[in-house]
Structure 1
Amino acid sequence: MPAVTAGFELDPRIERDTEPLMWLGLCELRVMNDRRWPWLMLVPQRVRAVELHDLTPLDQTMLTFEADMVSKALKETTSCRKINIAALGNVVPQLHVHLVARNEGDPGWPGPVWGYGQREPYRREDLHQFIAAIKASLSR
């Protein structure tokens, strides 16, 4: 993956809970290591970005474009009913955007994924398979 923006440091909690997938331009795309939901995360590589309004108008546009591109790939890969997109930041203030594939009957449906049960890490093979499927969808 390319070098990050000078001075940018990924929050250690994001680094701990996710795996890198690929660089998109503005954002690093990461996979939440929780097999209960297909869950991706966009992390804009901007120093001190906490809120969307901390980004320049051009970066805001790029984030919207990348979120759209990733949500389409996630929906294509999982055939899910709904994509949940959120930028909460209550626990980890560094700006990051969650994209979660949801289906009726998944753990916690229809409620939010946050705070529901305990995280269940992927088996390495399953994680690599999911990453490969997302990359393939994004390359189409």
Structure 2
Amino acid sequence: MRIQLSCLILFHIFSGIAARIFDRCSLARELSRLGVPRGNIPAWVCIAQFESTFNTAAIGPWNSDGSRDWGLFQINDRYWCDPQDGRATSNVCRTPCRSLTWDDIGTSLRCARQIQGAQGFGAWTVWNGQCRGGRALPNINDCF
């Protein structure tokens, strides 16, 4: 009984560490710390806001093609990451999808920047609907 309780406590401790919910400014500061140019930070903040509501642990519902979207930037597992469940994937970012849901957003950002480099911000449907043209780009000036 004592071992089961200890395992349960450790599970809760580590599961709480595995995800993070940002707000506008905490994400802007983290992106800056990770080397994102100041001019691109509002775009990434907008995408994270509308894709995952700033939640690193977000995993989207099943898409019509049988894929899912993972993490802060909702990166699709059909092309970009490996869901490690036996489904075929291109895994262009060479990373397990679970790593896109961790509180350390370095891997997620690297993959998102790879997508952005290949397809532009338009790879995210929210870019065209909510973010493009500055419609919903957040002001981050008060974050620094």
Whether the TM-score (by the shorter chain) exceeds 0.5 is no
Greater Rg by CA: 2
The TM-score, its normalising length taken from structure 1, stands at: 0.29
Name whichever structure is richer in strand by fraction.
1
Name whichever structure is richer in helix by fraction.
2
The TM-score, its normalising length taken from structure 2, stands at: 0.29
